[in-house]
Chain A
Amino acid sequence: MDPVATTTLLQGESTARRTSVFMKFLMAVTGALFVLFVLMHMYGNLKILWGTEAFDEYAEHLRTLLTPILPYSGFLWLFRAVLVLALLVHAYAAFTLWSRANGARPQRYAVKSAAKGAVRSKMMRWGGVALLAFIAFHLIQFTIVKVNFNGNFSAAQLHGSTGELVIASFQLWWVTLIYIIAMGALAMHLFHGVWSAAQTLGWTNSAGSRRLAYATAHVVAAVVALGFLVPPLAIFFRLVK
């Protein structure tokens, strides 16, 4: 995949699996999976508006899904495994294409226009990196380690409830701010990503379907970002305690 200047015709059989477009398929499929996940996750998060019990019940429900076919938490672990794998694939494809693109234009333009293309590709790539950082922070905070940054809440008060941890966290202004910024990045990523995935997967064959894909991307980006932000803001402004 190394970019090379060439004056030759490629020899031998070429396969679809080794093309840059195939990389795009990988990214689109994993991206689509993420979209489904965040939609579900956002729905789950909204439960906290009805109190921490409702929220924890939902989390518990996830863990008992498909039992007893699967052991307790089995589905969740499977789901996590798929997500991790997808994230690796998504990030791998993203960085491969990114380095390809760098190699494809070693000499930059002296004068750049503010064309939307340049802005978008930057936004996707740096936005993606931001999301990666956010996800790491987020998982440490809520799942892997479960850190409570809020001194006003003791471990006893939280009694192991993720719902209580969430309440405690978003009472802090800077935690909330991190999430607001992250959701901004997510919205931008989705705004281009959803349209992009539709194009990559071959669903935008006409001006009409293209408009539909753009519209869907706008709606998904807005719904996800706003939906995610309702609980933190509600907690921050003490509408939910």
Chain B
Amino acid sequence: MNLTLNIWRQDGPETAGRMVTYQLADVSGDMSFLEMLDVLNESLVAKGDEPIAFDSDCREGICGMCGLMISGKAHGPVRTTTCQLHMREFRDGDTISIEPWRAEAFPVIKDLVVDRSSFDRIIQSGGFISANTGSAPEAHSVPVEKRKADRAFEAAACIGCGACVAACPNASAMLFMGAKVTHLGELPQGQPERYARVVKMVAQHDHEGFGGCTNTGACADACPKEIPLDVINTLNRDLLGALRQGR
């Protein structure tokens, strides 16, 4: 198939960017979206143009490195990661726009590559269970109710891709944070730090410049790992708990 691609090009963090149009012929439906970009890049290099920078690593939908806004949708028209999106979802003659995630807390580094280190700092602020190596009790000493274990697992499936932020009209990272708060808060091991954790994480989130959540749900619709919206509810509830404790 033949495609028209409108792609965001930006030389560096400080420079202004613009949309540039490319034509690409002979795209096969079996290609992944990123392989399509690889092919485009090969042709750009042949012409002496600098290839388009975009992030990817595992290309299996698990590392969370990839992520593009494809015609206005985070990770494109199907609910999966960009690297797992295949060109058979598009038609001959389609025009596709490709932009980076846009958020104050995700500044563009170059072209389609953004800096998501704000997510790491949210985790640094409290997204962990303090268990020094060597201090662990025997694994079977604390049974975990199956229902809670399953819910913790479901939330732990988050890959930190940032699509939730990209899709949210407020550029809020509540789904990402809610997933972590739920994962750790459902487990008995996570109880001692539960309320301190949520306050610190939300405070860091706000400090990073993410927007506030207004429960619009666009994040959960875009999430490739189908993190459910109720993790935000859990986060809210834990923050209420923290308020009650006077934190």
Interface residues of A (CB under 8 A from B): 1, 3-10, 14-25, 97, 100-101, 103-118, 120-122, 124, 192, 195-196, 199-207, 209-210
Contacts and interface: CB of A to CB of B under 8 A. Distances in A.
Contact of A15 (B168, B230, B247): B247
Contact of B235 (A21, A100, A105, A121): A21
Contacts of B207: 4, 6, 10
A200 B206 CA distance: 17
A207 B170 contact: no
Which of B170, B232, B240 has most chain A Cβ within 10 Å? B170
Nearest to B73: A113
A101 B212 contact: yes
Contacts of A116: 216-218, 221
Contact of A201 (B102, B208, B212, B236): B236
Contacts of A201: 236, 240
A114 to B, nearest CB: 8
A100 B105 CA distance: 12
Interface of B: 6, 8, 19, 69, 71-73, 97, 99, 102-105, 107-108, 117-118, 121, 124-125, 167-172, 199-200, 202-219, 221-222, 228-230, 232-237, 239-240, 242-243, 247
Given A19-B199, A121-B216, A115 B221 contact: yes
B218 A115 contact: yes
A199 B105 contact: no
A204 B211 contact: no
24 contacts: A3-B209, A6-B118, A9-B124, A14-B202, A15-B247, A16-B247, A18-B203, A20-B205, A97-B211, A97-B214, A101-B169, A103-B104, A105-B104, A109-B69, A110-B6, A113-B72, A115-B169, A117-B217, A118-B216, A192-B215, A192-B216, A199-B229, A202-B237, A205-B233
A20 B206 contact: yes
